[in-house]
């Protein structure tokens, strides 16, 4: 890796804490990803991106800023990236998947709060994430209470624009959300100093849709038995999608799909044919929180879809590309995002229907519903998930975990017992 220390220093990173993070990541990556058997060759690009996770891409962001461009961070798949892109900005999904800066985070947050919230506060206060430190502004949302209140605190350290996400999907909620997205467009124009035009918005929609189309193509290929790619690799790709250059990323995913199509024709996969096929659902599994998929896929099963925000919820549903004026396009964008099935909404029947359809279409043997500790919306919704899946005779395992490794053994025991029960 090139020497990026000066760059990190210029961003004000705490180099000592950052070194500790960089000491852990590569060996863990080797164990979890590079040790997998029969990986597609085109994963080389994504391995490279990961090896440069705090290097080359950060340099690209800084070059963009040096040319008067803005970098805007997001914590939720409700943030309409098309609008940021149409104004010449770069949208970065901030990952929040590691227990870092916990001591600092606990100075401003309660101890018993979701690890994802604690993580983003820890990353910021601990100054360990060059993506966070590259952001000129971050976009928050009023999804869950913990996040909503944490953004008030975060605003002391970086400008935060909060989108009011409604909690229901009635016509009046849709009207509120559309007006929020319109206001967001004005905010982004003011922040970047760039006027969004019909052409720039159309172009941004098309490019974001192309990225979604590539990810949908990748996911479609996972319906085959044996699955041509692992969930861990898909999770990695789905998260690189949130920060990589959009066009380059799209081309690389399509190249990977070309290879996977050949694998499917040759019946080559990452497991033996007939391995148990599972759907992973629940709260986001932000990088580098790979514990659960690693346990599942080293227990002989294969995950064939992630019904999560680090998965399908991020890229299913395209924004219609027609539209005669900016207002129509903004409405189309708002409506596409309101279709995301987050447990912060009530009711959230869309998620239940999606799980049943996925299980049927992908011939899944069961669902693992994994929730982060202290996440009330998803922990409470586990009851609905259980009831609906039971009604469709779809086996379910509910897990609750955090970012520590202490429960790995216990999770493995429960996953193995679940696989045995499936009797495959
Ligand atoms: S659209 S899931 S990315 S809000 S896990 S912080 S809900 S207490 S992350 Fe999410 Fe957007 Fe919904 Fe998706 Fe709160 Fe739960 Fe923590 Fe969560």
Q: What's the pLDDT band for 26 if we cut at 50, 70, 90?
A: confident
Q: What is the pLDDT of residue 238?
A: 96
Q: Which of 116, 313, 351, 385 to mutate to test the pocket of ligand 1 (most atoms within 8 A of CB)?
A: 116
The overall average pLDDT reported for the chain is 96
How far apart CA 148 and CA 361 sit, in angstroms, is 36
How far apart CA 149 and CA 109 sit, in angstroms, is 10
Q: What's the pLDDT band for 61 if we cut at 50, 70, 90?
A: very high
Q: DSSP per residue over 21-40, as a string?
A: HHHHHHHHHIIIIIT-SS--
Q: What is the pLDDT of residue 424?
A: 64
Q: Which of 375, 379, 380 to mutate to test the pocket of ligand 1 (most atoms within 8 A of CB)?
A: 375
Give the distance (Å) from ligand 1 centre to CA of residue 387.
22
| Cβ of 312 less than 6 Å from ligand 1 | no
Q: What's the pLDDT band for 100 if we cut at 50, 70, 90?
A: confident
Q: What is the pLDDT of residue 182?
A: 98
Average confidence (pLDDT) over 97-102: 89
Average confidence (pLDDT) over 296-307: 97
Q: Hey, what long-range contacts does 349-357 have (CB within 8 A, 24 or more apart)? A: 351/281, 351/307, 351/381, 351/385, 352/384, 352/385, 352/388, 354/307, 354/312, 355/279, 355/281, 355/307, 355/385, 355/388, 355/389, 355/394, 356/388, 356/389, 356/392, 356/394
Cβ 292 vs Cβ 232: under 8 Å: no
Q: What's the pLDDT band for 423 if we cut at 50, 70, 90?
A: confident
Q: What's the pLDDT band for 217 if we cut at 50, 70, 90?
A: very high
Q: What is the pLDDT of residue 2?
A: 66
User: 411: helix, coil or strand?
Assistant: helix
pLDDT at 327 over 80: yes
What is the percentage of the chain residues whose pLDDT exceeds 90?
94
Q: Which atom of ligand 1 is nearest to the CA of 378?
A: 15
pLDDT at 1 over 70: no
How far apart CA 247 and CA 214 sit, in angstroms, is 11
pLDDT at 366 over 80: yes
In this prediction the pTM is 0.96
Q: What is the pLDDT of residue 24?
A: 84
Instruction: Look at 220 and 99; give whichever has higher pLDDT.
Output: 220
User: Which residues, in sequence order, are bridge partners of residue 281?
Assistant: 307, 369
Average confidence (pLDDT) over 217-223: 97
How far apart CA 207 and CA 201 sit, in angstroms, is 10
Residue 12's CB: how many other CB atoms inside 10 A?
Answer: 10
List pLDDT tens digits, range 249-280: 999 999 999 999 999 999 999 999 999 999 99
Tokens of 344: 């912060």
Q: What is the pLDDT of residue 421?
A: 96
Q: What is the pLDDT of residue 324?
A: 94
Q: What is the pLDDT of residue 168?
A: 98
Give the distance (Å) from ligand 1 centre to CA of residue 104.
22
List pLDDT tens digits, range 180-212: 999 999 999 999 999 999 999 999 999 999 999
How far apart CA 212 and CA 207 sit, in angstroms, is 9
């Amino acid at each position: 890796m090139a020497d990026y220390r000066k760059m990190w220093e210029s961003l004000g990173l705490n180099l000592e804490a950052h070194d500790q993070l960089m000491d852990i990541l590569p060996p863990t990556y080797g164990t979890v990803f590079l040790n997998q058997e029969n990986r597609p060759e085109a994963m080389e690009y994504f391995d490279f991106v990961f090896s440069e996770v705090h290097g080359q891409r950060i340099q690209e962001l800084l070059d963009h800023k040096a040319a008067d461009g803005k970098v805007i961070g997001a914590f939720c798949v409700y943030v309409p990236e098309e609008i940021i892109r149409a104004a010449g900005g770069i949208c970065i999904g901030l990952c929040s998947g590691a227990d870092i800066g916990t001591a600092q985070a606990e100075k401003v947050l309660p101890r018993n709060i979701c690890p994802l919230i604690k993580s983003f506060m820890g990353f910021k206060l601990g100054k360990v994430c060059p993506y966070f430190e590259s952001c000129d502004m971050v976009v928050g949302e009023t999804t869950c209470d913990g996040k909503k209140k944490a953004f008030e605190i975060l605003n002391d350290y970086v400008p935060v624009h909060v989108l009011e996400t409604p909690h229901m999907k009635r016509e009046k909620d849709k009207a509120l959300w559309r007006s929020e997205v319109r206001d967001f467009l004005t905010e982004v124009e003011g922040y970047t100093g760039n006027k969004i035009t019909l052409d720039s918005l159309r172009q941004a929609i098309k490019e974001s849709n192309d990225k979604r189309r590539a990810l949908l193509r990748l996911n479609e290929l996972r319906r085959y038995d044996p699955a041509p790619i692992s969930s861990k690799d898909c999770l990695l790709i789905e998260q690189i999608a949130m920060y990589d250059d959009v066009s380059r990323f799209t081309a690389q995913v399509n190249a990977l799909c070309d290879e996977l199509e050949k694998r499917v024709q040759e019946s080559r996969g990452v497991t033996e044919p007939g391995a148990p096929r599972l759907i992973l659902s629940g709260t986001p599994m932000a990088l580098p929180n790979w514990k659960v998929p690693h346990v599942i896929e080293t227990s002989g099963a294969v995950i064939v879809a992630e019904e999560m925000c680090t998965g399908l919820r991020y890229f299913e549903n395209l924004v219609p590309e027609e539209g005669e004026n900016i207002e129509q396009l903004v409405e189309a964008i708002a409506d596409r995002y309101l279709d995301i099935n987050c447990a912060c909404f009530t009711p959230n029947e869309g998620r239940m229907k999606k799980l049943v359809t996925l299980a049927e279409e992908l011939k899944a043997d069961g669902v693992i519903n994994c929730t982060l500790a202290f996440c009330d919306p998803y922990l409470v919704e586990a009851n609905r998930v259980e009831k609906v899946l039971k009604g469709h005779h779809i086996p379910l395992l509910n897990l609750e975990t955090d970012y520590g490794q202490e429960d790995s053994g216990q999770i493995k025991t429960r996953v193995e017992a679940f696989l045995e029960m499936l009797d495959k």
